[in-house]
Chain A
């Protein structure tokens, strides 16, 4: 019964194929859900301590646009997620300047229409025309922050040492335990800045070797590598000194006034976080409505008061806390986390640092 055997095999193959199709349809389910999702809604991918939920709800009530917000902890997380989905899945992201550069290169963002942003003329010129987006074709600056040291003055009760980057890199001056940045790029560039006065120089293998050595020597004193957990480090008295952004320390200061934020004398790094619209988003008009809402004076003021961020409009400059958001002259001396070092090398340095 040769025929019958053949027929059996054919029938069984069809059956297997049927189930495979069912599985594939199951996986594509999320695409169908997206398709049916409310038209008047946008997906936002943002930092955790940036958007006040009550104001988001106010926006939803006023405009009827539903907001779906997800959060990322690091720029690397944002970049890798966006890269994985090739610029789709979100309608608004808020990357830092150095990631903007990478994203534009990979074509993950779409161009913006400056005329649609009502607050554009009020934006602080020092935040526009940055190296990553010289004509602001893709980004609208939203907030900026400076890195510095968060110090528990109660620990240094006798004498507050002179605040310089020596405090985290010079083994003679480092306190027992410090908190250090946990991103490869930021750690490496900070070390480069400390060793060579600038992070934007061309790096030879000798430079890299010295940077590696410095970071490995520093590791002995590091209590934890983290940027999101510094509250626990400072308030739990685990580390008297952490490297962090101004606004984060400001919020901790409200709980414990002994914690102070100081920008080291040699200067520091600034990060500017901007609104950007991923390439595949189709809800651009709704996004502009949201951006305009967030850039309104009262909304900005509320977020500044609540989260301590440095705002992008000229008007807000005078209200800013000078220790957290330095003056224009200081700002001009700040460095960015931009570098010509390839990502692969930065990652390799980080793996080697973490291995020991």
Chain B
């Protein structure tokens, strides 16, 4: 092939050449690793010969109460966090979207500001709130509500409060966007037709804001399932959540096969539960 032809061919495909780095990157660092996890989970290394052989043994290990408990714990955390965030964020988003005339942007900005704080720092700040000489105990003691400081740290309660605290900002923006879009005329019409405020809220406002609820819910539900740092810091390392176990397999016991299998299993479970909730929400919408 002549040099000029080669050069011409290169220039013809120059666009392709310049556009694929991103694809190559994402293939090598995302899809190939995913395949690695998938593949690893189906192999077991013989203790004696260290030769890997295909097997479903890894997955079989997890058909045990222990692992169901761990996954359930994460699912419960994710569910309760998402619902709690929804209940807390909804009134706030509603207030900013519909009750505030001026200063909407400032309030929104103030709500989103904690977003910029690193989650570790947010968790650390709860040490000072929940400790025996922390803010909450000091306040309650000074108000005379309790006589002995409460043991708040290193409990499941501390974990839940902190996780909710960290994820609430995720819920506000989608809710705000959805609530702001609701045409005021719908609400007016409903009130005019004789419905009281509660009925209007339940039958007009909530259904119209369902897309926002849906988005916000999943923005919180799926990441909250994968939380293990906050339980480690605020829960006293007493209970394993799904991601704690994944971290344990990959970093402590270095059992990559079991770790991969468990990662796939727990991801499949959370995505399945998310899908069920999503379908239910969609059904309500129509």
Contact = CB atoms under 8 A, between A and B. Distances in A.
A touches B in complex, CB < 8 A = yes
B66 A351 contact: yes
A219 B24 contact: no
A175 interface: no
B82 interface: no
A177 interface: yes
B25 A23 contact: yes
A193 B258 CA distance: 30
Contacts of A80: 251-254
Contacts of A23: 24-25, 28
A343 B21 CA distance: 43
A22 B28 CA distance: 12
Which applies to chain A's interface (DSSP): helix, strand, loop or mixed? helix
A203 B13 CA distance: 68
Given A76-B252, A351-B66, A182 B16 contact: no
B236 A222 contact: yes
Contact of B253 (A225, A237, A343): A343
B153 interface: yes
Nearest to B154: A224
Nearest to B22: A19
Contact of A16 (B20, B131, B252, B253): B20
A15 interface: yes
Contact of A83 (B153, B245, B254): B254
B112 to A, nearest CB: 32
A307 to B, nearest CB: 24
Contacts of B236: 222-226
B98 interface: no
A15 B15 CA distance: 11
Interface string A218-237: 01001111100000000011
A224 B238 contact: yes
A38 interface: no
A177 B26 CA distance: 49
Interface string B94-118: 0000000000000000000000000
B67 A355 contact: yes
A267 B133 CA distance: 35
Contact of A236 (B16, B131, B240, B251): B131
A20 B24 contact: yes
Contacts of B131: 236, 238
A8 B252 contact: no
A344 B10 CA distance: 55
Contacts of B16: 12, 15
Interface of A: 7-8, 11-12, 15-16, 19-20, 22-23, 76-77, 80, 83-84, 176-177, 182, 219, 222-226, 236-238, 343-344, 347, 351-352, 354-356
